[in-house]
Amino acid sequence: MKKKYFIILLTLVLITSCKQEMHLTRIEGERIEINDSLSGNQDIENFIKPFREHVNNDLDSVIAYSVDTYTKNDGELNTAIGNFMADAVKEMAGPVFKTRTGNNIDIVMLNHGGIRSILSKGDVTSRTAYQIMPFENSVVVTGLKGTSVKKMINYLQKAKRAHPISGMSIKLNVDFELLEANVNGEVIEDNKTYYVATNDYLYNGGDNMSFFREGDSLHTLDYKIRNVLIDYFKKVDTLDLRADNRFIKTN
């Protein structure tokens, strides 16, 4: 489908009195349609071409292979692509956080809506990462007490959606009531600090995730989620993703 763009030209009609005061009397507008009938500037095209080709070559270079096609709608409470994204953040951002603070990332939580494309079977490129995560969101880590982690779990319980998580296990009954939850296989302690990685959009209250702001610290890693995915693709080479039991509802 061809896109049409318009430029609106506005003319401000003013009148001037003998005292040099100006008063707006009317606004006139003209709409100019921009479409394929307008010819491009070949000099500009020639100048841009090598840069465009260089960028496209970088974006389309194969860096991994996906054994199947994965979408964010493949599961009720956890999906293969969501698990992959959360695990990738934990694995790739974890060492950065450890080097800077001496602490480990305990939990990762992202948002279901942040997954913007499928991961198709076949060659995986940097462009794939841009399609899955087109936003400029970066990884941040905050220290949450166990009481706030429980609020996070309560959010997930009520959302009934496959928000990507890592490092945490949640089990609900058929009525979405909490049966058990743990962090890295251990019971959650109310007064213990857990280091939770997310993105800056969610930390600032996106998707109503207000519990992140209860953290006692904030660490900005300057590591975009998109770059996390690219680095992870290069590291693992072959993507064989799985949904699992990290967030489930029992019958």
**pLDDT tens profile 235-245:** 999 999 999 99
- Residue 51 in any domain: the answer is no
pLDDT recorded at residue 47:
74
CB half-sphere exposure, 57, CA atoms < 13 A: 6
Distance CA 119, CA 147 (A): 35
Asked if the structure places residue 30 within a domain, the reply is no
In a domain, 242, yes or no: yes
* Residue 41 domain-assigned (yes or no): no
CATH of the domain at 156: 3.90.780.10
**Residue 79 forms part of a structural domain:** yes
Contacts of 56 (CB under 8 A, 6+ apart): none
Is residue 159 pLDDT above 60, yes or no? Answer: yes
In a domain, 2, yes or no: no
Helix (H) or strand (E) holding 100: helix 80-101
User: What is the domain range of residue 135?
Assistant: 64-249
Asked if pLDDT for residue 149 goes beyond 80, the answer is yes
pLDDT interval class at 8 (50, 70, 90): low
pLDDT of 106 above 90: yes
- Characterise 122 by phi-psi region: left (phi > 0), alpha (psi -120 to 50), beta (else): left
How many of the other CB atoms lie within 10 Å of CB of 141? 28
Inside any domain, residue 117: yes
Alpha-carbon dihedral angle through residues 16, 18, 19, 23, given to the nearest 10 degrees: -20
Percentage with pLDDT > 70 across the chain: 88
Q: For the segment 28-63, what is each residue's pLDDT rounded down to a tens digit?
A: 777 777 777 777 778 777 777 766 765 676 778 999
Is pLDDT above 70 for 4?
A: no
Query: Helix, strand, coil: what percent of the chain each, to 5?
Result: 35, 30, 30
- Establish if 1 belongs to a structural domain: no
Q: Give the count of domains, the chain.
A: 1
